[in-house]
């Protein structure tokens, strides 16, 4: 009788330990899947901001491959042209060459803030109606390739440069 009670207690203890291990494993799997999903979303966001194509053969974030297509090349060329006109705007040439897209994305964030500041300064040279109509000219040029004629003259970007990069 005592022998059966000890067996039942040991079986209960073993069952509890097995359940704990299963729960810990499942929790770890959910945490990994959540982290992986977050990394996939971040990669898609980075690719979208930098006009890159993204490829991942499976749902594993560690297998992501960024591809610089035509849109990406044109985007980086416009960015480089803007930095020639405004040297204070950073251009991550080495990071782009090394395809370190996380670094490039952080540069882009800083560039975006600086472009906003320059756009506000440019807006001061025009009437409020004109400035509102031509809002964010450098950002529009960087992302879409379009730049209003008044700003072209103000900035010093030629018509050829603008026409060359229009998608």
Average pLDDT over residues 31-42: 80
Does the pLDDT of residue 60 top 60, yes or no? Answer: yes
Other Cβ atoms closer than 10 A to 50: 20
Give backbone dihedrals phi and psi of 134, rounded to 5 degrees, phi first.
Answer: -105, 30
Name the residue with tokens 């704990």. Answer: 20
Tens digits of residue pLDDT in 127-165: 666 655 566 778 888 888 777 776 677 666 666 666 665
Torsion of CA 142, 115, 153, 133, to 10 degrees: 80
Does the pLDDT of residue 167 top 50, yes or no? Answer: no
Q: Which residue(s) pair with 55 in the sheet? A: 65
Q: Does the predicted model carry a pTM greater than 0.85?
A: no
């Amino acid at each position: 009788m005592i022998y059966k009670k000890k067996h039942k207690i040991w079986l209960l203890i073993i069952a509890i330990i097995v359940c704990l291990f299963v729960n810990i494993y499942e929790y770890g799997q959910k945490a990994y899947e959540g982290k992986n999903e977050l990394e996939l979303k971040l990669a898609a966001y980075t690719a979208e901001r930098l006009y890159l194509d993204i490829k991942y053969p499976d749902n594993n974030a560690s297998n992501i491959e960024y591809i610089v297509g035509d849109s990406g090349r044109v985007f980086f060329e416009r960015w480089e042209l803007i930095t020639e006109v405004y040297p204070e705007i950073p251009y991550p040439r080495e990071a782009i060459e090394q395809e370190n897209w996380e670094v490039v994305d952080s540069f882009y964030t800083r560039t975006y803030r600086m472009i906003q500041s320059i756009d506000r300064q440019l807006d001061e040279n025009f009437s409020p109606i004109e400035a509102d109509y031509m809002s964010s000219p450098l950002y529009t040029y960087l992302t879409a390739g379009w730049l209003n004629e008044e700003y072209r003259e103000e900035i010093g970007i030629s018509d050829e440069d603008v026409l060359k990069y229009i998608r």
